[in-house]
Amino acid sequence: MIDRAKKTEQAGSSLIEVLIAVLVVSVGLLGTAGLQLASLKNNQSAMQRSEAVVLTYSILDRMRANRDVAAAGNYDVALPADLANCAAPGNGSLAEQDLTEWVAEIQSALGAGVACGAVDCDSNFNCTVTIQWDDSLSTGGNAAQQVVTEGKI
């Protein structure tokens, strides 16, 4: 009779252990999902920075092909105060065509209305290329990201 009493006291304890184990595993899986989401956001941001660097070298290579015109300042364009107002100068000269294509590439890679580029060259063939974009969706942090590349053409 004593053995039966001990067995009935233990009934149901394994169910509680299973419920606690399920709770612990659930919390662990939620943590893993959160880490995965943060990783995806940061990878998106890193990819955008890499694309911005490639795009800065793209316009520098175009200017190297048209060096004298670039040194004269025909490729110079400033960043607008509002990235939504980013516009290329037109399609008249080769420099204008290059800038129009470059701005289109920036907006295609980094987002239309949230990305733009600037170029500033001096007469000694030293150029500074800046690309700015809104990165708030990727990192959840600072919206304004910039990549600045200085080069000699």
Per residue in 82-117, pLDDT tens?
888 888 777 789 999 999 999 999 999 998 889 999
Alpha-carbon span 104 to 72, nearest angstrom = 23
* Distance between first and last Cα of the chain: 97
Q: How confident is the model at residue 1 (pLDDT cuts 50, 70, 90)?
A: low
Alpha-carbon span 11 to 144, nearest angstrom = 61
Q: pTM here?
A: 0.76
- Given a cut of 90, whether residue 14 has pLDDT beyond it is no
pLDDT in the model for residue 5: 53
- Given a cut of 80, whether residue 46 has pLDDT beyond it is yes
pLDDT in the model for residue 91: 74
Residue 127: phi and psi, rounded to 5, are -125, 145
- Given a cut of 80, whether residue 11 has pLDDT beyond it is no
Of 12-16, 67-71, 82-86, 143-147, least confident by mean pLDDT is 12-16
pLDDT in the model for residue 152: 92
Location of structure tokens 């470059």: 102
- Given a cut of 60, whether residue 6 has pLDDT beyond it is no
Residue 111: phi and psi, rounded to 5, are 120, 125
| Helix/strand number for the chain, H first, E second | 5, 3
pLDDT in the model for residue 128: 96
Average pLDDT over residues 134-147: 78
Average pLDDT of the chain to the nearest whole number: 87
